[in-house]
Amino acid sequence: MIGASLSRWTLSYFAAALLALIGAELLMVTGFGFPGAEIQSPKTLVLVHLVALGWLSLLMCGALFQFVPVLIARPLYSNSLPLPALVLLVGGIAALLSAFLQLDGEMALGLPFFPTAGALLGAGFGLVLWNVGRTLWAARPLPLPARFVAVGLSSLAATVGLGIVFALALSGVGSQPIYDLTALGLPIHVIAGLGGWLTFTAIGVSYRLLSMFMLAPEADKPTTRIAFYAGAGGLALTVIGGIAAICAGSNLDVILIASGALGLAMATLYGADMVHLYRARKRRNIELNSRMAAFALTSLAAGTAFVIVAIVLGDLTERIGPIVFLLAFGWLSGLGLAKLYKIAAFLTWLECYGPVLGKHPTPRVQDLVVETRARKYFYLYFLAVWAGTAALTVGVTPAFRGAAALMAFATIGIVLELLRTRRLADVPSETRFPEGTRQPRLLICLQTP
Ligand code: HEM
């Protein structure tokens, strides 16, 4: 990755994303949304979208601007589009959350929040898709991890498209097909969003990042290819088959069962690949980010097992709350925080010391972090997520709120560590700024080595 250009606005995406995560955790501490409110209530919709869009999607977009060029060894199509996209996305998320609050009667303003949210989010994600899509298009034929990202981006388009349809229907604008899609299309929106956009893209990026950070073999095994085809097939079946079935007035169940089986096959093969990758690594003493990624992968495995058990016991609908919580916070957020810890250090190191490498002695990337201090926050975070999942499973709401408080505390601790890394606060002052270097800005990467 040395020599890779720096994505100027990636850190601004990460900052907005972390604020949304802390905001969502604090809302859970106060008892806002599920489990205190119904799972389909507007308050839960606020919480779900603050996490899915505000935290996870902004994090993913910021990471893709930096890592898609690394995956395909080509520059990003445009370095100026990420800023307007961020402004549109933040405005769109604020409008969508306001629309849900309006639905709940919490916001008396008569503004057209749903159509505004649809327009802003459509434009913001449209810019992201155009930028990353053009970057990938120029690099065909794509290596396997980048193909996962391409499928993830197609799922994002489907999620946003359906979200806009729902928003129009809820604001009373629309025709019969729009109301049919809104009445029956929620599973497609959720699977394309959580399974396609967030999980499939994270899987593609993790194949490359984990092998890079642990010095393990690249992902081009037959199991990886089968995992790709199973996952992509399951997602295509859900989105294309599902929408066709709704339009034709037929039942969605068969399609969802078939795509669920493909998703399960994909998760199992990905799990096997990850076990192989950890075992085949050349770096024996792995860094904190890779150890914590293993906790996130364990959460994915536990979430998958939870789904199977719930299906066997016939209570998937009642268990959907704890399952989605474990996958959103243990798997996706856990992996996100673990990788952020490494990425923040790496980008800061590259920005500050990249231009003088070979000319002056510089600190190592690991000199920017103090893992012994940060690891207690990561342990606390994962323990709190697992405790929260248990509390939701047995239905003890006060214990869930306690677990959310611990998650918020741990997340704030991790964010403070990220800030110290960005400020180079843990690099001894004598070696911090060799000649030709200067303090990086907090939220923008300015140099392109
Ligand atoms: C990563 C992206 C997204 C994910 C993972 C996601 C996830 C979800 C989930 C889980 C629900 C059901 C929540 C519940 O029942 O409590 C939902 C509903 C909904 N989503 Fe999204 N969403 C995403 C993006 C969007 C976007 C971009 C929009 C709008 C432009 C949107 C608009 C809606 C609406 C209006 C509903 C309510 C549907 C109804 O109750 O009829 N979503 N979403």
Backbone angles phi, psi at 217, to 5 degrees: -60, 145
Q: What is the pTM of this model?
A: 0.96
Residue 69 Cα to ligand 1 midpoint, Å, equals 30
Contact 214, 288 (CB under 8 A): no
Over residues 274-310, the pLDDT tens digits come to 999 999 888 888 899 999 999 999 999 999 999 999 9
What's the confidence (pLDDT) of residue 4?
Answer: 66
Pocket test for ligand 1, best of 186, 201, 317 (most atoms within 8 A of CB): 186
| pLDDT tens column, 67-92 | 999 999 999 999 999 999 999 999 99
Q: Name the residue with the closest Cα to ligand 1, atom 37.
A: 166
Query: Token pair of 68, please?
Result: 């898609």
Collapse the DSSP code of 264 into the 3-class scheme (helix H, G, I; strand E, B; otherwise coil) and give the result: helix
d(CA 300, CA 231): 15
Beta strands in 6-112 (DSSP E): none
Q: Is 426 exposed, middle or buried (0-12, 13-18, 19+ CB in 10 A)?
A: middle
Structure tokens at 343: 């990425």
Quick: pLDDT tens for 200-213.
Answer: 999 999 998 888 88
Structural contact between residues 40 and 416, judged by C-beta atoms closer than 8 angstroms: no
Centre of ligand 1 to C-alpha 162, Å, is 8
- Pocket flag, ligand 1, residue 427 (CB < 6 Å): no
Residue-level pLDDT at 449: 45
Distance in Å from the first CA to the final CA of the chain: 12
How far lies 341's CA from each of 71, 309, 348, 388, 408, in Å? 20, 34, 11, 23, 17
Tell me if 227 CB under 6 Å of ligand 1. Answer: no
Nearest to 287 by CA among 361, 350, 365, 347: 365
| Ligand 1 pocket mutation pick from 45, 55, 64, 188 by most atoms within 8 angstroms of CB | 45
Burial of 356 (0-12, 13-18, 19+ CB in 10 A): middle
- Number of Cβ within 10 Å of residue 119's Cβ equals 17
- Do the beta carbons of residue 415 and residue 23 sit within 8 Å? no
Joined together, the tokens standing for residue 207 give 């194949």
Ligand 1 pocket residue status of 387, Cβ below 6 Å: no
pLDDT at 255 over 70: yes
Q: What's the gap in Å between 340 CA and the centre of ligand 1? A: 25
Residue 385 has pLDDT above 70, yes or no: yes
